[in-house]
Amino acid sequence: MTNEAQAPSSGVVLIVEDDTLLRLAIASSLRQNGFEVLEAANAAEAVTILNSVAVDALISDINMPGNMDGLSLARWVHRHQLDTKIILTSASSQSLGEAEQYVSFLAKPYDSEDIQQLLRQVLWH
């Protein structure tokens, strides 16, 4: 018997979040719901992964330490024409500029149901 709420249940998702506990919680929830999950603590790690693995969806915090924040990472994905859906998250209001054309935004705090619902929307609708 198939649970329609979880179908289709596959996709490779890269979570880019410097808050380790939040990243682990979201990754665990997505894995339990059939997603293959890759994790990165910052944008530099994410670029390394994106250069070597096909990723269906990227979930990234906007505010991260380092030379590249989440918005810059989204622009990098867009410039390299990767077939990756982009979801940006932040606890504060953000101006996405031209990125509004190719990213979805999810305000923090969010729960696992919020992120799963948005993932399904961007991946399969």
CATH number of domain containing 29:
3.40.50.2300
Q: Is residue 5 part of a domain?
A: no
pLDDT value of residue 97: 72
Question: What's residue 67's pLDDT?
Answer: 93
Q: How far apart are CA 40 and CA 42, in angstroms?
A: 6
- Does the residue 39 lie in any domain? yes
Instruction: Over range 13-19, report the average pLDDT.
Output: 96
Residue located via tokens 């990243």: 23
Q: What length does the chain have? A: 125
The position carrying tokens 């996405």 is 96
Q: What is the pTM of this model?
A: 0.87
Residue 1 resides in a domain: no
**3 in a structural domain:** no
Q: How many domains does the chain have?
A: 1
Q: What digits encode the pLDDT tens for the residues 39-59?
A: 999 999 999 999 999 999 999
Longest CA–CA separation in the chain, Å: 48
CA dist 110 and 90 (Å) reads 10
pLDDT level of residue 1 (50, 70, 90 thresholds): very low
Looking at the domain assignment, is residue 38 inside a domain? yes
As a whole-number percent, the residues of the chain with pLDDT over 90 amount to: 66
Burial group, residue 72, by CB count within 10 angstroms (0-12, 13-18, 19+) = middle
Q: Are 118 and 104 in contact (CB under 8 A)?
A: yes
Cα separation, 5 vs 96, whole angstroms: 31
Q: Is residue 40 part of a domain?
A: yes
99 — pLDDT class (breaks 50, 70, 90): confident
β-bridge partners, 82: none
- Has residue 18 been placed in a domain? yes
Query: Is residue 4 domain-resident?
Result: no
Per-residue pLDDT at 8: 47
Q: Looking at the DSSP assignment, which residues form a beta bridge with residue 106?
A: 89
pLDDT at 57: 97
What is the span of the domain harbouring residue 15? Answer: 10-124
